[in-house]
Amino acid sequence: MSDGDRLAELAKRRGFYFQSSEPYGGAAGFYTFGPQGAAVKHNVEDAWRERFTVREGNMEIQSPTVMPEPVFEASGHLDTFDDMIVECADCGSSHRADHLVEDHTDIEEAESLPGSEVEDLIADNDVACPTCGTELAGRPVEDFNLMFQTNIGPGDAQPGYLRPETAQGIFVDVPRLKEYARNQLPFGVTQIGPAYRNEISPRGGLKRLREFTQAELELFVDPQEDEPPLAEVADVVLPLYSAEQQQAEDGEIQELTVREAVDEGVVGEPWIAYYLGVGRQWYERIGVDLDRFRYRQHLSGERAHYASDCWDAEADVSLPGEDPDWIEITGYAYRSDYDLKKHADHADDEFSVFKQYDEPVTVERPTVDPDMSYLGPAFGGQAQAVVDALADLAANQPDAFEGDEVTVEVDGENVTVPVEKTGFAVEEQTEHGEHLTPHVVEPSFGVDRVVYTVLTHAYREDEVDGEPRTYLALDPEVAPTTVGVFPLLDDLEGRARDLTERLRANGLPATYDDSGSIGRRYRRQDEIGTPFCVTLDERTPEDDTVTIRDRDTTDQVRVPVDELPAVLADLRAGRRSFEDLETPPRA
């Protein structure tokens, strides 16, 4: 088996994840998290919330997944959130045209080519339909919008779309959210929830879903004044694969501290460097293997035009013995004021924040106060349009009023007005502040891909007592179950059930199992990544002790039952390590 098949098999059999609606043949790109997978995902989300919302002092919101069309007219998704599609004339199946070209040529980024060139490349390289083998030469390459469309209410008067990112739910509500932040920058807003991308023909399990979960933080900052608390992560080491290194002959990953990365200009935006540091600490905490992890900078062709710097956190999700398979798990982007300016242009609301000056400032403001007794008779129904044009001209080009006449364009025609009739003047005004459109710093996590990374990095094969064993070395904070409880004798079952309840009441996810040999019970827990198993044996009724077994080493120690909840809580929180436990002498 290869390409994650071994993990997919375990995931299906043990309840981590599987394709949805399987009894109906499934739908590509839609996966269900089973009991174990939903627990891991939930734990990952909680760890994210603790780090990126609570500890950073941000606000978490929850906005709908369906949003009306004007939002995506403004955001640009309606126009540009496209993939290139080519449809087979014979079997009717659709394919990503750029991917076909990449598969048949040396071209690596066909996405950036114009459609006509992709059409030519398909013809020149005799690219055939992957489904039925018919040649695709001559077939048109078209843009396919990746948003799922629907209609809100009856009829099609109000189109709606499933949001392609949770971020838009934050951006559109900034006029209200800034009030909750008392109009003080910086402020951060987070959201964890579903997002959608109607992929043309997704393959690859959790790596490419049509419905997925994002955890996004949008930090709104004053680009002139706000600086990140770099000191908190200054010494965190970042494995940086810069654009420059990617394009160099022997390009390699540079290990720099956050401070070095900023000082040497490898990471251009200090806010981005700060979050790369926080991110690295968080990935480590939830069990991402940092030896198979890197930050890769976007090449200039990849980067959105508005983003001054973008880095992807990437993980190698190959299983032992497979070729490397790097996937993006988080995008870190400095989005400037692009998003809020777009919404300010399209929507009827105020997306800027009023920034008070330390001292009031006096400015000269050119104004007009036209003589309507002249303009009215002279221009009739066009008079108001002439007034507006004069006001614009005064604001943007006050020099034009230096002569005797000014000329403005109204409805495509030039109109001339004597300056004396415009009431042109330059007034001194005192200003107390300005309206500032905040810049946006965005760490955007793909939760499903993070979960997938955590599972692949935890996947282990070894031998125990001469038998092959598969297990998941999950971090206790992320594992679905903290402890399995096994009675070794029939008359210990009641006692074992009571202990399970007691552990649960102490907030420890515990599973009771009395079925099959002790070896089978251990393997079952090993496969779902349960870090500890507790066994009640013949000695338990004598001295009220049980054994704890460590998943990774299979070492065992005895612990008094009364101490068990505290010991397990300490092990789970990382306050104690298993090697420090000692079996007390037999009474």
Is residue 28 a contact point for its own copies (CB under 8 A)? yes
Binding mask 48-77 for its own copies (x = CB under 8 A): ------xx---xxxxxxxxxx-xx--x---
Among 3, 8, 27, 382, binds its own copies (CB under 8 A): 27
CB atoms within 10 A of CB 74: 20
Q: How far is the CB of 247 from its own copies (least distance, A)?
A: 34
Per the listing, tokens 């030469």 go with 137
**Contact indicator for 222, 436 with CB cutoff of 8 Å:** yes
Residue closer to its own copies (CB basis): 193 or 366: 193
Is residue 435 a contact point for its own copies (CB under 8 A)? no
Piece in contact with its own copies (CB under 8 A), picked from 113-121, 171-179, 422-430, 453-461: 171-179
Residue closer to its own copies (CB basis): 480 or 531: 480
Largest CA distance in the chain: 112
**Contact indicator for 483, 508 with CB cutoff of 8 Å:** yes
Q: How far is the CB of 7 from its own copies (least distance, A)?
A: 17
Is residue 120 a contact point for its own copies (CB under 8 A)? no
Return the C-alpha torsion angle 323, 246, 339, 171, nearest 10: 40
Q: Nearest Cα to 432, choosing from 375, 356, 521?
A: 356
Among 175, 223, 331, 398, binds its own copies (CB under 8 A): 175
- Span 192-231, contacts to its own copies by CB under 8 A: 194, 196, 198-201, 210-211
**Contact indicator for 455, 16 with CB cutoff of 8 Å:** yes
Q: How far is the CB of 168 from its own copies (least distance, A)?
A: 9
Three-class secondary structure of residue 309 per DSSP: strand
Q: Which two tokens stand for residue 99?
A: 């991917």
User: CA 453, CA 288: separation in Å to the nearest integer?
Assistant: 7
Count of residues of this chain found to bind its own copies when the rule CB under 8 A is applied: 82
Q: How far is the CB of 338 from its own copies (least distance, A)?
A: 17
- Span 75-114, contacts to its own copies by CB under 8 A: 85, 87, 92, 94
Residue closer to its own copies (CB basis): 65 or 554: 65
Q: Which two tokens stand for residue 400?
A: 């034009």
Residue closer to its own copies (CB basis): 323 or 348: 348
- Span 135-154, contacts to its own copies by CB under 8 A: 144, 148-154
**Contact indicator for 441, 271 with CB cutoff of 8 Å:** yes
User: CA 537, CA 76: separation in Å to the nearest integer?
Assistant: 65
Is residue 180 a contact point for its own copies (CB under 8 A)? yes
Per the listing, tokens 């105020």 go with 350
Is residue 348 a contact point for its own copies (CB under 8 A)? yes
User: CA 528, CA 472: separation in Å to the nearest integer?
Assistant: 6
Is residue 130 a contact point for its own copies (CB under 8 A)? no
Q: Which two tokens stand for residue 303?
A: 């980067």
| Cα radius of gyration (the chain) | 31
Is residue 506 a contact point for its own copies (CB under 8 A)? no
Is residue 347 a contact point for its own copies (CB under 8 A)? yes
Among 7, 162, 386, 408, binds its own copies (CB under 8 A): 162
- Span 324-343, contacts to its own copies by CB under 8 A: 343
Q: Is the dihedral of CA 52, 58, 62, 64 positive or negative?
A: negative
Q: Which two tokens stand for residue 82?
A: 């496209």
HSE-CB for 318 with a 13 A CA cutoff:
11
Q: How far is the CB of 201 from its own copies (least distance, A)?
A: 7
